[in-house]
Each structure stands twice: as C-alpha cells, then as structure tokens.
Amino acid sequence: MLEVSLLGEQYVEGSTATNLARSSRSIALLGFLAVHAEAPQPRQRLAAIFWPDSSEQQARTNLRRELHNLRVLLGEDPSLVVEPATLMWREWPTCRVDVCVFRRERQLALQALAAGDQHAMLEHGTAAVEEYRGDLLPGMYDDWVLVERDELRRQCVELCDQLVAGWRDLGDLKKAVEYGRIRVRLEPLEELGYRTLMELQADAGDRAGAISTYTSAPRSWSTSCKSSPRKPQRYSWSDCSALTDWTLRAAVDTFGRGLLSGRGWWAAIKRSIRSPSAGGTSSRVGPVCSSSWAMPAWARAGWSMTWRKRHVRTASSLPRRGVSAWQGQ
C-alpha cells in the first residue's frame, strides 16, 4: 500500500522508485490531482497551470515527462486514471493520500454536525485535524498551491472551532484547550484564537496558562510587525492594520473573571480607562490609528508575572490615567 503525504511534508512511502520519490514536479502534479480528486483534469489546463511561461508545445512535453515519472513512482496503483485528454485521481484502497483523508473526514464531520450527532462530529473532526500535519506542499509557491494551501488551512481552523465548541459543551476543557492551541498555531495573528484559548484556560482555572497565552500573543505580533528589538513590547499598528486593540481588553475580560481576585484589578482597570461620555479620556485600550503604541508600564508589571519578576501591583497603586497619557512610555 502506498502512503502519500502532502500536508507538512512531501513523500511517497511504499514506492520502489526511490530515485523519483523527491521529484518536486511529480509530487506537485500528484498533489494537484489529489486536491481535485474524482474530477477529470484536461491535459491542456494542467500544462498551462504548471508551465505558464512555456509555449503550449513545450508545456505539453513537460507534462508528458512528469506524467511518466509519476506513473513510475506509483507503479501499478490504479488511483491515477490516465485518459488521452484528461488525468484524474481516484481514491482507491491501495493508496492513502492525507489530503483526501482530511477532506473526507471533514465532510463526514460537517454532515454529523448538521444532523446533530455531536459524538460523530468529534470523532471525524478529530481524525481530520490529525491528518493536517502542516501546510500543503511546503516549499512550493505556485499560485494554485497558495490558493489551495490557504483554503485547507481555513477548513482546518473552522474544524478546530467546532471541536473546541463540542468538547466545551461536553465539559472536557482539557480537550477544548488542546484544539484551541492548535487553532492558535494555525492562525497566530487572529485575535479570536487567543481570546478563545484564554477563556478556556480561565474556565479550567489555569491561571499560569492564561497569562502565558496573553504574554505570547504580543510577542508574535511584534515579530510580524517588524518592531524594533531595542524597544521590547512595542507594536506597530500601522504595519498591521488587521490587528485591533483587543489584547489588553482580552486580558481584562479573562483576568476580571477571578484569576487575579482579591487585588482589585477589575475595578482599577475600569477607573483607569474612563469613557469620554463621562468626562474622562478615551475608553479604547491603545489607539489603533496611531503609528505605534507601547503597552503601559503598569500593565506590563501587573499582568505579566514574569516581566522583570515584579510583584503584582494592587489597585491602589494603579495610575488613574487615560490612554492619551500612555504615549511614549
């Protein structure tokens, strides 16, 4: 039986043609056909997609060469259906392709969800996420690869959201946190993943885990925003227009639920960030429209237990200042 891996790595296990197992174009052709399994693909279209800068005749010649290599790689396996004008990948018990398994299990999970069968949804959803070991065809950057890669990642993220909700409904917060972490790894710049994970850790009473999630999010965003290494914990909002000022608010939402009870944090935060309608300063935590914003010193010292090993400040020591006074800190 052949084992084809296209997610997170590229290899064909069980093939006798070891010299072709790492042929990038042959694997890419296999990947394209597997992603569009059960759908005949015209040879003319395949040639244009894989060799757009070549003449039609040269592209057809290249396709015939890679098709020959692919047939040698697969041997006598019937999964590859070759017709005079088309090529098609057909799922067959003799060859297991992780992309096909992922999509099949995902479809079964969605059908179970629509039917209200939560246990079947969790079973098939878990199987699908286990198959997703990384991006499609890593190291390849053809246009079609990028489109399919983003689509598969999005599908896996949505599955993780369903699994988190399902395990949370069943009261298994450990499993919910597990898939919440997977979601964060898949989309490290999406605020929803961090917020959900922090809420799950708060519900589970994992105070250290919630703090760790909170402090790790800005660091990853700071790297993506190319902030200056000489100014730690400073984030460039103009470079990351998709990011919002959710970070501190998420921490307020989470830690205000009792993780730091007895220290008056929640009341102090509400007094420190006043509403314009009440005659105070802006209620937004960090101006998105500004070119850059540094996390306030009191928030750094108070929320991050590991920040310079400072002790958590009490409510009485928090400054009653608005956001406008934080600029430049």
* pLDDT per position as a tens digit, 54-68: 999 999 999 999 999
Q: Which of 188-192, 272-276, 285-289 has the highest mean pLDDT?
A: 188-192
User: Residue 214 — pLDDT band, cuts 50, 70, 90?
Assistant: confident
Task: State the Cα angle at 251 between 249 and 252, rounded to 5°.
Answer: 60
Q: Average of pLDDT values for 176-203?
A: 93
Percent of the chain with pLDDT over 70: 63
Six token digits for residue 10: 């590229």
Cα Rg, the chain, nearest whole Å:
26
Residue 207: pLDDT above 60? yes
Residue 217: pLDDT above 60? yes
Percent of the chain with pLDDT over 90: 54
Lowest mean pLDDT among 76-80, 264-268, 275-279: 275-279
Per-residue pLDDT tens digits for 80-99: 999 999 999 999 999 999 99
Per-residue pLDDT tens digits for 143-164: 999 999 999 999 999 999 999 9
Q: Average of pLDDT values for 299-309?
A: 40
List domains and CATH numbers for the chain.
2-93 (1.10.10.10), 96-224 (1.25.40.10), 263-329 (no CATH)
**Dihedral over Cα of 52, 55, 56, 59: its sign:** negative
Q: Average of pLDDT values for 291-316?
A: 40
Residue 257: pLDDT above 90? no
Residue 221: pLDDT above 60? no
DSSP H helical segments within 204-305, as ranges? Answer: 207-224, 246-254, 265-272, 297-303
Q: What is the pLDDT of residue 270?
A: 43
Q: What is the pLDDT of residue 11?
A: 87
Nearest residue to 132 (alpha-carbon basis) of 5, 282, 246 = 5
Q: What is the pLDDT of residue 22?
A: 54
Averaged confidence pLDDT in the chain? 75
Question: Are 294 and 233 within 8 A, CB to CB?
Answer: yes
Q: Label the pairing between strands 2-5 and 11-13.
A: antiparallel
Kindly tell me the burial class for residue 1, based on how many C-beta atoms sit within 10 Å of its own C-beta (0-12, 13-18, 19 or more). exposed
329 to each of 226, 299, 310, how far by Cα in Å?
19, 11, 18
Residue 101: pLDDT above 90? yes
Residue 166: pLDDT above 80? yes
Per-residue pLDDT tens digits for 6-42: 999 998 888 665 554 456 899 999 999 999 999 999 9
Q: What is the pLDDT of residue 1?
A: 87
User: Residue 218 — pLDDT band, cuts 50, 70, 90?
Assistant: low
**Which is higher by pLDDT, 267 or 100?**
100
Residue 274: pLDDT above 90? no
Residue 324: pLDDT above 90? no
Q: What is the pLDDT of residue 65?
A: 95
**Which is higher by pLDDT, 239 or 216?**
216
Q: What is the pLDDT of residue 189?
A: 86
Distance between the two ends of the chain, CA-based, in angstroms? Answer: 62
User: Residue 178 — pLDDT band, cuts 50, 70, 90?
Assistant: very high
Q: What is the pLDDT of residue 219?
A: 55
- Given the structure tokens 């500004």, which residue do they identify? 290
Cβ neighbour number for residue 317 with a 10 Å cutoff: 12
